[in-house]
């Protein structure tokens, strides 16, 4: 590799690192002294790897955001999957992924092509892995508290009492 090429690759790597650092700092900028990213998963690495493969094969991220990323070409108004385990149980998620018509469980106001597709045809093991992984997605307590407070303020129009 020539020196010029090395320089270009070096600059590209550096800009990716800087961009990632900027994103992380921006996410935590307005919530006090560096509380970090509010989302985490309790899944082990084997489950995480299996779930990532299933999600990739089924284009979940063409509609859903997870860990702050979503397919840039899509603008489907789907709920983010971050923290999903704080909202739904593993059993609920398994039922939902196994439903022939997910909208019977969770009604949709979206046009048909934007709705949650049925994943009933996936092998049972894959639906189980998806449900277990989604249930492992948690959100830190301080962020839930902040979110509730912000919601309360938005609804009442005045600062919430602590």
CB of 149 to ligand HEC, least distance (A): 21
Q: Is position 108 an interface residue for ligand HEC (rule: CB under 6 A)? A: yes
Whether 78 and 116 have beta carbons less than 8 Å apart is answered as yes
d(CA 135, CA 90): 5
Whether 74 and 62 have beta carbons less than 8 Å apart is answered as yes
Nearest to 39 by CA among 97, 87, 78: 87
Query: What is the x/- site pattern for ligand HEC, positions 40-79, by CB under 6 A?
Result: ---------------x--xxx-xxx-----------x-xx
Q: Is position 110 an interface residue for ligand HEC (rule: CB under 6 A)? A: yes
Nearest to 63 by CA among 55, 54, 74: 74
Choosing from 65, 88, 140, 149, the residue that interacts with ligand HEC (CB under 6 A) is 88
Q: Is position 147 an interface residue for ligand HEC (rule: CB under 6 A)? A: no
d(CA 157, CA 144): 19
Q: Is position 20 an interface residue for ligand HEC (rule: CB under 6 A)? A: no
For binding to ligand HEC (CB under 6 A), which residues are involved?
55, 58-60, 62-64, 76, 78-79, 81, 84, 87-88, 93, 102-103, 106, 108, 110, 114-117, 119, 130, 134
């Amino acid at each position: 590799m020539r020196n010029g090429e090395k320089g270009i690759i070096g600059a590209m790597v550096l800009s990716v690192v800087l961009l990632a650092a900027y994103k992380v700092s921006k996410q935590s900028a307005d919530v006090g002294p560096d509380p970090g990213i509010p989302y985490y998963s309790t899944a082990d690495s084997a489950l995480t790897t299996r779930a990532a493969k299933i999600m990739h094969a089924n284009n979940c991220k063409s509609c859903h955001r997870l860990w702050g990323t979503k397919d840039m070409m899509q603008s489907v108004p789907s709920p983010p999957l971050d923290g999903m385990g704080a909202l739904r149980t593993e059993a609920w998620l398994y039922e939902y992924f196994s439903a022939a018509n997910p909208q019977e469980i969770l009604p949709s106001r979206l046009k048909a092509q934007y709705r949650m597709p049925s994943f009933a045809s996936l092998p049972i093991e894959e639906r189980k892995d998806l449900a277990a992984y989604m249930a492992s997605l948690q959100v830190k307590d301080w962020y839930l508290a902040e979110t509730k407070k912000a919601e309360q303020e938005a609804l009442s129009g005045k600062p919430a009492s602590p």
